[in-house]
Structure 1
């Protein structure tokens, strides 16, 4: 469509993918603007001051474990579990690949750049060796990482000359290397459990190591003599981060606290208590400019406040699993997203501020979310329908049990329609008006108050069934054959049209009431099944999102034209789409990201 365009306004990025007992390595921006973390095959570049702005790099073919900016800031090196390191450009939006190397033959757990941005050291779990130093331009070896007998978890480069490298291993030791070319110098055997994290101070005068034994040891930066022990944590140390002046150290621990240490006195000056649940364990931290951040086992990113250690300044919440469900609040100012792990998050569409819905939720996958006047309703794999109070942002009232696993829900005025694997229900005021058993497997449904019609799609067949809901009963009035299994169905806001999406890549619009096709031409430009369709508030545009990672915008006025937003969720299917207004669209993906798009139309 000439004149039609789109741009990404915000990306509410997925959270770090965490695993119990595994540290999360965060990457720091030399200019203090962004920070880096990994999730699945992606590297997330997230703005520190405004976390609703983020960029996502998706060029790895398997799980990425660590990403770090070069000190020059021109490049990011990211390393994955196959042992590959990709060095890519930060200046261009396309993130052009500069080099790809395979320094070791197994998962890389950490990497570090030398201060001149010329050398990279990686460590992990290779078959022949546990680490390697190489030149970033050519991949040429610049020394050997030997001398430790178990996989290496952590590494850092001394930021000043003479260059040193320190590594921490599962053989409980820290090792020191001198160079270049780098050669093994000695090991430190102060830890009694795995050494999990090692970091040099900014000025290079000290380095600190943290272990599963809950101990932090402090060493001289040049000769690696032991300078002292910082004791106080009662759980393993997962993260260490130095302040810009090299006078303080932040630690993150499995004891559900972070601590701030004064290096001169070697005393703890602040303890941040992060909660008392297992998911409040602290698995990583970063200190960038004024920002001190830590990552909880839940994936939440906490902005710590030394003046108020019991309450973070801000917590970035969200999802670190796929998002199968999404809807907007009645005023379209909030976005509700439901995860495959049962969590529901509500986002402010302007600021990106997020809250996790409180209370006992479904406990496993949220199937669909639907708005009603005072909040939203959710259905889940626990075979219940639950209600969320929109002002308190918490689940209210008892869960409504369903006779089978729910597949779809729609709410219009005071009527709720639910399709389960075995039946279709109409409800009002929490009581069931009618429940009709069905011989087919429903996949989706949509309700029209104007026509008193309920459209129900079939999962394993091509039929869309239209039921009359007069007299609070379900009477079949029409069957429509689609070109594939019905994936989604939705009435337009003015209730003049009904739009369907199917597994055969087609989006089709029907005139509501008669259910004749509105357009002679088929909308078939997706290259795989279409998961979701949505109408703009003015009923003039349709958005569709599919397995092909693309979103397509269709116009009712110009049915021959369309706009394809390719790779809108790169390497990930689009699970849901919804319009915030007539020129902005929200999409969610299997990648755990929620994106807001500006859509521009020709006048």
Structure 2
């Protein structure tokens, strides 16, 4: 049933929705009173003309954004499946999306070396930041929506005060490529993961590295905190998911079973 090259995105807050990409250019939405019901019917969202690399739900789960190698971002109504808006501005593959928890803002990162923020109510670009390091691989908003983290090639990690159109801090997260970034719910830690196989934990206030979490044997491709912030999950090209205690750096366990790379994790 699963199509070629599937990419999975986290289940949104509303338990009645599950989003899965089944093909290179199509999105399938499942809407059901129970994710475990046997009569789940998909709604397929078609429009992109090239591979889809990024997905994000807004805070209400009424809108899902998709990012593609066709250089566009599309906003879809999850209830009807209708295309709401198409955002243009990037000039290369768009690799990451993140909705702000506060307000109608959507961040995107692309291979054109830019990080952009959009107003989804108008479809207009609000601000764009260029990087000297190379492709942008991941973006994430702080819990209050005021700070935007952007990671990419060269082990780069940038913290952007995006409303003021200025860079707060620029750090180097290991070497090679930084594929993933996440803020803790309390906004006291930032986690990054990349091709150096290590999870890095940072203090967003000072920009200082707090600790590193070692265990993966290949690139770390995904990181996320549990809702209470007491656990951190990391997914890797080595096919494993590791669970960590962010405060102590202790590994709580390793989840094995995937036969390929783990590109996304979520609690």
TM-score (norm 1): 0.40
Counterpart of 1:547 in structure 2 is none
1:83 CA drift (Å): 1.4
Deviations 1:122-155 (A, max 9, x none): 00213xx432112222233333321111111111
- Segments of 5+ residues of structure 2 without an aligned counterpart are 261-267
Counterpart of 1:73 in structure 2 is 15
Matched, 1:123 2:64: no
Give, in whole Å, the separation in 2 of the partners of 1:248 and 1:140. Answer: 37
C-alpha spacing 1:281/1:63, structure 2 compared with 1 (3 Å): closer
Counterpart of 2:221 in structure 1 is 283
- Segments of 5+ residues of structure 1 without an aligned counterpart are 1-58, 322-603
Give, in whole Å, the separation in 2 of the partners of 1:77 and 1:216. Answer: 29
Q: 1:85 touches 1:103 (CA, 8 Å); kept in 2?
A: no
Residue from 193, 217, 221 that aligns with 2:134: 193
Residue from 97, 100, 105 that aligns with 1:155: 97
1:220 CA drift (Å): 2.4
Residue from 60, 83, 88 that aligns with 1:146: 88
Counterpart of 2:41 in structure 1 is 97
1:308 CA drift (Å): 5.2
**Total equivalences in the alignment:** 256
Deviations 1:276-304 (A, max 9, x none): xxx43212111113220112221111112
More displaced stretch, 135-144 vs 207-216: 135-144
1:98 CA drift (Å): 5.1
Matched, 1:183 2:124: yes
Q: 2:198 touches 2:214 (CA, 8 Å); kept in 1?
A: yes
Counterpart of 2:53 in structure 1 is 109
Residue from 237, 252, 256 that aligns with 1:313: 252
Matched, 1:270 2:211: yes
- What secondary structure, in the 3-state scheme, does the structure 2 residue paired with 1:131 have? strand
Counterpart of 1:207 in structure 2 is 148
Once superposed, what is the RMSD of the aligned Cα atoms?
2.1
Give, in whole Å, the separation in 1 of the partners of 2:218 and 2:120. Answer: 40
Give, in whole Å, the separation in 1 of the partners of 2:58 and 2:247. Answer: 34
1:315 CA drift (Å): 1.0
1:200 CA drift (Å): 1.3
Deviations 1:476-504 (A, max 9, x none): xxxxxxxxxxxxxxxxxxxxxxxxxxxxx
1:206 CA drift (Å): 1.6
C-alpha spacing 1:141/1:207, structure 2 compared with 1 (3 Å): same
